[in-house]
């Protein structure tokens, strides 16, 4: 896994060096010597900010009592047992300030917590807070004043190969900012000071070059080559790399660590522009800026450049340089550095110590074993640290694929393959104290975390194999394992059931693969295998080739290439717990046996192979991760939510109430356009809400995400994340509203000329709600003006419909009918390969978010895995299930039978359980609708042959096809929870027809994608096509409307695609009305008549209309038909002609 043997080390160093030439500037050229740097922006004096003013005053009183040497000892690291510590002033009650790693917990501590990236994958801010709070208690109980545990966007994840990406959160500034805010609050609430790192634009390990220290990639001797420079522009700095640090500052972070790299040619820790102007002035940071270990290369330039504390200073024998300490004493004494600057440095150290309450309530003495932390409320329950870690491990496991094999259903024979499933034969310290000395050729056991300063020791590491064995005891399942990746022959024997232990092949094969990551070294590629040694991918391929139910488990810290096996149908599920901490086994078992009942959202995008990802000199600017893929329209392998066990429905809304920022512990000085006294860029100016409804059959959770789309002129990525909320534990049919507060900053861009945040210059801002930047069914289009008002609302939601038949192609008219109704239609041929069909259908389902469902129209009436299936429509199936069979209530089923025979499957019978199948003739059904008496909704069409609904076939029958379509559409609308307002559409049509003088206004409301028609049956007036309709309504219907015309609706029946009206119409025949009385000149007679209008609509527009009335009565009322001419023996006919008007009035007013 790691790099200690001579052969593997040298080769990998070469590979890594070559790979990361492109990540750097193309060459590792030196930047100016540290002592020769200029410092243009002077360090600002602290003022305590929003809440630390009183603490600052106390700190200044203490500083006035300190000697010069004492002051310097407080800003220079000293020898001691902590990761770093400063001097202590016993006479004033100032303790040594003890600093400790790290982001997965202290060393030593009670818990090895899941990594930042695994925690991020939960998308659960409550868990983020609980993890930090519980972790913070360990820091506190161990006597550690400062928890160096918050990786706040350094690295952010610019390169997927970054060696330390796993320590942080998301490859997105907004999401990382939210996670950092909750993380800092958790640490602060536990009583410790919180440190965020690494400021700023720290995005690679290669060529980071600490002072006087060689790294695995080093070519030059120690200190001969200075760190790589991260070169980026002002807009990128503000919108990407400062964003998350601003959130940490608002949450009250006490320390920020500057990074190894240079920024635009100047050491990060000595860069007065980024430290003094951006961090301490613009973001108003009131705490201490400390160095990373070996990031200090001098004294004067770093003091003036904004570095307050040099760590570890004299620690570790002073190996990382002689800076600060006596050099700083001498510079203050000779006036090179003012003592006021030194006082500011000390005050930034002491003020947070006082503000966090550590002065009034001193921490316990530094210890090596902490007391147990107190339980924390999560989801309304008190949970211990171990329970929280287990829940994060489970909830942070990403389900990248599941064709139905999960959850496991009591398998009798389980094979566990791969050394990543078990313990290291060398114990938990086999890779060294910081887990970065793993021998690539040895079995290093399960990978629960990456290596380096972010590593935490496991107090009780429970491996996946241990947890699987424990779970298997409940069902007395047989568990066998091979924990040697190189034991190919034993692996094959185990999978084939030829090892003499198992009677049959395994029911399920769990194969574990990892890719080691660590501080000090970036990955040279995104493969699972490291060169030809680790065989992580090889064992996946070997297992999948010999086991048709292979479940892959990936312990990785970032994206890996999976193309060689991800589409293999024998790979039935893929889980990525990432780096899940010491509860890796129990958390995994919770997913394997209980199942994943929520949408999975990777915290980073996983590309397909050969996809170009941003690797260069920050020239990609804002376009990292999903922003890059979206900008260049590259389809990622993963990056959207994966398979889930539920579906949901979103309804969107907006609230324009504004309220001030109530969450900031500290305030930034970020300026914005139109700002007035007392306003903050974090004030909320609107709230977007989305109603989430669980339409599945299981209790489920969903992460709703909000993205902002800026006008193209602003040169932003296509969409940027500006909100997320996890809606948890929704019961079937239950709903909950996800709310996204929109702050001023969320709808602004950074203006490099104005040097402030401003609203877009032109166009709309659009808020999108959905599952990912690629899956946003709802949006709010917003015209933003100076007052941030005038919002207008629009809606859109796509629903996926899979059409299945035997042939390579399908009837295009039928497909177009589906698309016209707004369905995202996919044709998937069956072609007698059921396994491949199931696999392809599953791929379609995997692309759905929890907010989407799908329907199937086929000729088979076969129920696929019903996860997310909301409708199943079958046309003339050749085989059907038992007539009394029942389908799940969540699936809307309709079957259409032609005049045909079918095979009826009555299910297994007899001792041999063979299916009883009988050939039956479909008879006519009940009434004129021919509904059949089956356990599911079914209709017979006795006058139609098989193929009646397909335009291209010789048996197309329009009457049967239209009737079947109405029934199909009704089921689809119910399944997809679509409620088209056909009445509103029809009212608009009626208004345009009877009361508008412009015929084009009416005709424009007809469906143009199909051939529209109208037919007035009694007068035989009718046309089809848009052009004929325009002529008809301009000439036959006439431009001038009768002033005496009165139309009254008597009744209305609305179906899925039809509206049937019963209308009372009266008028004086004062002008020609060719549609009802063709060729008849005005008679000036009163006419009263009942009309029946039958309207068909497609895609929200009029498709056809048939109108009927009693024409004999009309002709009588205008004097063209004389009832007296009717022979006397037909008196009833004569009476009906005389009383046609009376009949109309009777229907209008009722009998009697």
Q: 262-263 and 266-267 as β-strands: parallel, antiparallel, unpaired? A: antiparallel
| Chain segment 14-38, per-residue pLDDT in tens | 233 323 333 333 333 333 344 345 5
Q: Which residues have a Cβ under 8 Å from the Cβ of 1023 and sit 6 or more positions away?
A: 1013, 1014, 1029, 1031, 1032
pLDDT of residue 640: 45
pLDDT of residue 977: 81
* Nearest CA among 845, 646, 653, 651 for reference residue 729: 646
pLDDT of residue 835: 66
Q: Write the DSSP symbol of residue 373.
A: P
pLDDT of residue 759: 92
The domain 48-355 is placed in CATH, from the list 3.90.45.10, 3.20.20.300, 1.10.10.10, 3.40.1350.10, at: 3.20.20.300
User: What's the CATH fold of domain 383-594?
Assistant: Rossmann fold (3.40.50)
Say yes or no: do domains 646-782 and 982-1149 share a fold.
Answer: no
Do the Cβ atoms of 252 and 666 come closer than 8 Å? Answer: yes
Which one from 101, 138, 292, 590 is the annotated catalytic residue? 292
- Residues 377 and 398: their CA atoms lie apart, in Å, by 24
Whether 292 is a known active-site residue: answer: yes
* Nearest CA among 93, 672, 660 for reference residue 362: 93
| Chain segment 959-1012, per-residue pLDDT in tens | 999 999 999 999 999 988 887 888 888 887 777 766 665 555 556 667 666 778
| Chain segment 115-151, per-residue pLDDT in tens | 999 999 999 999 999 999 999 999 999 999 999 999 9
The DSSP-derived string for 547-611 is -SSEEEEEEESS----TTTTT-TTEEEEEE--S--TTHHHHHHIIIII---B----SS-BPPTT-
* Nearest CA among 434, 537, 436 for reference residue 83: 434
Phi and psi at residue 680, in whole multiples of 5°? Answer: -120, 150
Q: Write the DSSP symbol of residue 791.
A: B
Q: Where are the domains of the chain?
A: 48-355, 383-594, 646-782, 802-974, 982-1149
Q: Which residues have a Cβ under 8 Å from the Cβ of 833 and sit 6 or more positions away?
A: none
Do the Cβ atoms of 424 and 439 come closer than 8 Å? Answer: no
Q: Sheet holding 854-858: strands in order across?
A: 823-827, 799-803, 854-858, 869-875, 892-897, 938-940
Q: Is the torsion defined by CA of 122, 123, 129, 130 positive or negative?
A: negative
Give pTM, 2 decimals. 0.71
Show the tokens assigned to 598: 């929520």
The domain 646-782 is placed in CATH, from the list 2.102.10.10, 2.60.40.10, 2.40.50.40, 2.40.50.140, at: 2.60.40.10
| Chain segment 651-698, per-residue pLDDT in tens | 566 777 788 887 889 999 999 999 999 999 999 998 888 877 776 667
- Low-confidence stretches of the chain (pLDDT beneath 50): 1-36, 599, 609-616, 640-650, 783-797
Show the tokens assigned to 380: 């309304």
* CATH architecture, domain 982-1149: Roll (3.10)
- Phi-psi map region of 555: left, alpha, beta (phi>0 left; psi -120 to 50 alpha): beta
pLDDT of residue 696: 66
């Amino acid at each position: 896994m790691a790099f200690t043997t001579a052969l593997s080390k040298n080769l990998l160093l070469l590979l890594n060096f070559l790979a990361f030439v492109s990540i750097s500037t193309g060459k590792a050229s030196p930047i100016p010597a540290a002592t020769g740097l200029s410092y243009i922006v002077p360090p600002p004096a602290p003022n305590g900010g929003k809440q630390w003013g009183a603490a600052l005053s106390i700190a200044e009183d203490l500083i006035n009592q300190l000697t010069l040497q004492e002051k310097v000892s407080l800003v220079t690291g000293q020898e001691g047992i902590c990761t770093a510590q400063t001097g202590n002033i016993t006479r004033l009650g100032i303790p040594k300030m003890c600093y400790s790693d790290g982001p997965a917990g202290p060393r030593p501590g009670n818990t090895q917590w899941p990594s930042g990236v695994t925690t991020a994958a939960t998308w659960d801010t409550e868990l983020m807070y609980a993890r930090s709070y519980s972790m913070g208690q360990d820091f506190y109980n161990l006597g550690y004043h400062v928890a160096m545990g918050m990786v706040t966007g350094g690295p952010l994840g610019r390169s997927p190969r970054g060696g330390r990406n796993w320590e942080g959160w998301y490859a997105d500034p907004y999401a990382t900012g939210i996670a950092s805010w909750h993380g800092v609050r958790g640490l602060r609430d536990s009583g410790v000071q919180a440190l965020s790192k690494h400021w700023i634009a720290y995005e690679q390990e290669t060529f980071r070059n600490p002072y006087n220290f060689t790294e695995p990639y080093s070519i030059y001797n120690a200190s001969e080559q200075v760190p790589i420079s991260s070169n980026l522009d002002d807009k990128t700095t503000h919108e990407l790399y400062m964003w998350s640090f601003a959130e940490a500052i608002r949450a009250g972070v006490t320390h920020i660590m500057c990074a190894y790299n240079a920024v635009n040619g100047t050491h990060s820790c000595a860069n007065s522009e980024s430290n003094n102007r951006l961090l301490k002035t613009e973001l108003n940071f009131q705490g201490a800026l400390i160095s990373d270990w070996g990031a200090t290369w001098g004294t004067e330039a770093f003091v003036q450049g904004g570095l307050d504390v040099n760590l570890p200073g004299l620690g570790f024998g002073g190996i990382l340089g002689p800076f600060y300490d006596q050099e700083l004493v001498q510079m203050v004494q000779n006036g090179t550095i003012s003592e006021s600057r030194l006082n500011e440095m000390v005050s930034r150290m002491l003020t947070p110590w006082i503000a966090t309450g550590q002065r009034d309530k001193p921490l316990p003495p530094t210890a090596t074993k902490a007391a147990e932390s107190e339980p924390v409320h999560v989801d309304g329950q008190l949970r211990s640290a171990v329970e929280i870690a287990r829940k994060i491990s489970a909830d942070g496991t990403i389900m990248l694929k599941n064709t139905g094999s999960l959850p496991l259903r009591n398998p009798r024979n389980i094979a566990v393959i791969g050394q990543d499933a078990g313990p290291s034969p060398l114990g938990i310290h086999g890779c060294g104290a910081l887990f970065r000395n793993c021998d690539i050729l040895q079995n290093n056991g399960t990978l629960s975390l990456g290596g380096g300063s972010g590593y935490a020791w496991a107090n009780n590491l429970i491996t996946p194999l241990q947890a699987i064995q424990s779970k298997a005891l409940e069902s007395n399942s047989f568990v066998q394992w091979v924990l040697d990746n190189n034991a190919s022959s034993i692996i094959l024997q185990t999978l084939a059931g030829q090892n003499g232990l198992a009677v049959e092949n395994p029911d399920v094969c769990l194969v574990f693969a990892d890719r080691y990551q660590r501080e000090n070294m970036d990955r040279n590629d995104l493969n699972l295998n490291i060169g030809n040694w680790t065989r992580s991918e090889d064992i996946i391929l070997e297992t999948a080739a010999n086991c048709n139910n292979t479940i892959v488990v990936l312990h990785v810290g970032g994206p890996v290439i999976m193309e060689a096996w991800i589409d293999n149908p024998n790979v039935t599920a893929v889980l990525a717990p990432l780096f899940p901490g010491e509860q890796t086994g129990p958390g995994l078992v919770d997913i394997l046996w209980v199942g994943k009942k929520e949408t999975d959202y990777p915290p980073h995008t996983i590309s397909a192979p050969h996809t170009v990802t941003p690797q260069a000199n920050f020239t990609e600017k804002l376009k990292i991760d999903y922003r890059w893929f979206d900008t260049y329209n590259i389809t990622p392998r993963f990056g959207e939510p994966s398979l889930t066990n539920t579906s949901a429905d979103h309804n969107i809304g907006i609230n324009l109430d504004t309220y001030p920022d109530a969450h900031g512990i500290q305030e930034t000085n970020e300026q914005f356009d139109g700002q007035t006294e007392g306003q903050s860029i974090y004030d909320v100016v609107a709230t977007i809400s989305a109603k989430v409804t669980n339409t599945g059959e299981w209790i489920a959770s969903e992460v709703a995400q909000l993205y902002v789309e800026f006008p193209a002129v602003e040169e932003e990525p296509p969409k940027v994340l500006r909100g997320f909320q996890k809606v948890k534990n929704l019961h079937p049919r239950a709903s909950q509203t996800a709310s996204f507060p929109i702050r001023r900053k969320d709808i602004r861009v950074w203006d490099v000329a104005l040097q402030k945040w401003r609203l877009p210059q032109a166009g709309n801002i659009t808020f999108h709600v959905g599952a990912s930047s690629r899956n946003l069914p709802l949006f709010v289009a917003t015209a933003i003006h100076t007052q941030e008002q005038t919002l207008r609302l629009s809606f859109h939601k796509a629903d996926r419909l899979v059409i299945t038949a035997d042939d390579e192609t399908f009837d295009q008219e039928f497909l177009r009918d589906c698309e016209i109704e707004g369905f995202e239609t996919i044709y998937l041929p069956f072609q007698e390969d059921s396994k491949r069909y199931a696999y392809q259908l599953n791929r379609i389902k995997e692309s759905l978010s929890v907010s989407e469902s799908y329907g199937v129209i086929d000729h088979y009436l076969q129920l696929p895995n019903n996860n997310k299936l909301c409708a199943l429509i079958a046309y003339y199936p050749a085989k059907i299930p038992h007539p009394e069979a029942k389908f799940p209530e969540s699936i809307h089923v309709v079957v259409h039978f032609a005049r045909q025979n079918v095979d009826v499957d009555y299910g297994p019978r007899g001792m041999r359980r063979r299916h009883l199948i009988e050939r039956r003739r479909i008879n006519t059904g009940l009434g004129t609708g021919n509904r059949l008496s089956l356990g599911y909704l079914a209709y017979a069409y006795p006058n139609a042959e098989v193929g009646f609904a397909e335009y291209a076939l010789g048996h197309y029958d329009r009457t049967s096809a239209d009737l079947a379509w109405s029934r199909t559409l009704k089921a689809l609308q119910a399944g997809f929870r679509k409620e088209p307002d056909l009445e509103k559409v029809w009212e608009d049509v009626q208004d345009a027809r009877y009361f508008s003088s412009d015929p084009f206004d009416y005709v424009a409301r007809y469906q143009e994608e199909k051939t529209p028609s109208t037919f007035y049956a009694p007068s035989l007036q009718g046309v089809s096509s848009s052009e004929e309709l325009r002529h008809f309504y301009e000439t036959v219907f006439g431009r001038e409307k009768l002033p005496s015309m009165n139309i009254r609706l008597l009744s209305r029946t609305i179906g899925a695609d039809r509206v049937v009206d019963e209308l009372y119409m009266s008028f004086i025949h004062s002008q020609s009305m060719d549609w009802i009385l063709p060729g008849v000149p005005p008679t000036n007679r009163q006419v009263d008549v009942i009309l029946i209008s039958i309207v068909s609509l497609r895609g929200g527009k009029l498709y056809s209309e048939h109108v009927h009335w009693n024409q004999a009565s009309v002709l009588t009322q205008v004097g063209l038909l004389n009832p007296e001419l009717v022979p006397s023996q037909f008196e009833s006919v004569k009476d009906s002609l005389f009383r046609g008007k009376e009949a109309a009035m009777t229907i209008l007013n009722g009998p009697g």
